[in-house]
Amino acid sequence: MLRWALTFFIIAIIAAVFGFGGIAAGAASIAKILFFLFLILFVAALIGGLVRGKSPSPPI
């Protein structure tokens, strides 16, 4: 999800450079929504992991 937010942010920057204000504003708002959604899900997963009390398994 963070990758999508970054993609829309880059689209917004490119559109702003070329003067497409409406497209830049739309892409920036989508990127902002996706970023905050990612942040909320990350915090929820972090709190869920702390409540369960399990140590995270190491990556393989």
Domain definitions of the chain by residue range:
2-52
Determine the pLDDT at residue 27: 82
Determine the pLDDT at residue 54: 65
Confidence (pTM):
0.62
Q: What angle do CA 51, 57, 60 make, to 5 degrees?
A: 155
How far apart CA 13 and CA 1 sit, in angstroms, is: 19
How far apart CA 22 and CA 29 sit, in angstroms, is: 11
How far apart CA 20 and CA 14 sit, in angstroms, is: 9
Determine the pLDDT at residue 55: 65
pLDDT digits (tens, 9 = 90+) for 9-60: 888 888 888 888 787 888 888 888 888 988 898 888 888 888 887 666 777 7
Residues 6+ apart with CB under 8 A from 56: 49
